[in-house]
A and B are shown apart, each in its own frame.
Chain A
Amino acid sequence: DSGVTQTPKHLITATGQRVTLRCSPRSGDLSVYWYQQSLDQGLQFLIQYYNGEERAKGNILERFSAQQFPDLHSELNLSSLELGDSALYFCASSLMEGGPSETQYFGPGTRLLVL
């Protein structure tokens, strides 16, 4: 158990809908990262938050957004869903004071299926 929790574990929805994925980082970690894992694209970085502020953006679609709340949990919002958005979405967290060798701890993921 990494200490990172993600809900829900599974999500099935229809095209055009909007969903929210939730992540709680390890106790004490200030930084949250979102990654998407799909068969064709592999593991791709989406976005990073640090202590409530957006820190870096990766290959995140405009239909997707995220935020980190004062209690440091984070939500990833996916809207106008398309079939191609079906994937496993991971959240990871780190303290972000240990430098570039610091470990990112991953949650169990949310599996999204868009029908």
Chain B
Amino acid sequence: AQSVTQLGSHVSVSEGALVLLRCNYSSSVPPYLFWYVQYPNQGLQLLLKYTSAATLVKGINGFEAEFKKSETSFHLTKPSAHMSDAAEYFCAVRDQGGSEKLVFGKGTKLTVNP
């Protein structure tokens, strides 16, 4: 069964600083990986997804993620944090064992300080 682990339930950065949110996956087959963002009192919005077409994936709002098979990682980065990036971020892997469900990590809450 596929699973993901997000290291760090809370990450705090200064405005303009690099954002790095960590996600490691476990999968016996090539994974399909997703990053979603949840703003306060809202639903989940897709930031980007890995589909095996390219290891470096660019998403919305300046975010990108790099798939590293050797490290079983799919970390999310943004070169310069903005106050509007404050939200909770979820890494997810698509189940490939009979359903199409998403298996989510516990989430990382990003705080951006002025």
Interface residue ranges, A against B (CB under 8 Å): 2, 4, 31, 33, 35, 42-45, 48, 55-56, 58, 90, 92, 94, 96, 100-109
Contact = CB atoms under 8 A, between A and B. Distances in A.
Interface string B68-110: 0000000000000000000000100011101111111111000
Contact of A90 (B43, B46, B50, B94): B43
B100 A108 contact: no
A31 B100 CA distance: 10
Contact of A43 (B32, B90, B96, B98): B90
A33 B101 contact: yes
B104 A2 contact: no
Nearest to A56: B99
Given A42-B106, A42-B107, A43-B90, A103 B100 contact: no
A48 B103 CA distance: 13
Interface in B1-58: 32, 34, 36, 42-46, 49-52
Interface of B: 32, 34, 36, 42-46, 49-52, 90, 94-96, 98-107
Contacts of B96: 100
Contacts of A4: 43
A21 to B, nearest CB: 14
B101 A48 contact: yes
B98 A101 contact: no
A105 B52 CA distance: 20
Given A101-B32, A101-B49, A90 B101 contact: no
B31 to A, nearest CB: 9
A43 B100 contact: no
B104 A43 contact: yes
A56 B100 contact: yes
B44 A106 contact: yes
Given A56-B99, A56-B100, A100-B96, A106 B45 contact: yes
A103 B104 CA distance: 14
A101 B100 CA distance: 10
A43 B92 CA distance: 10
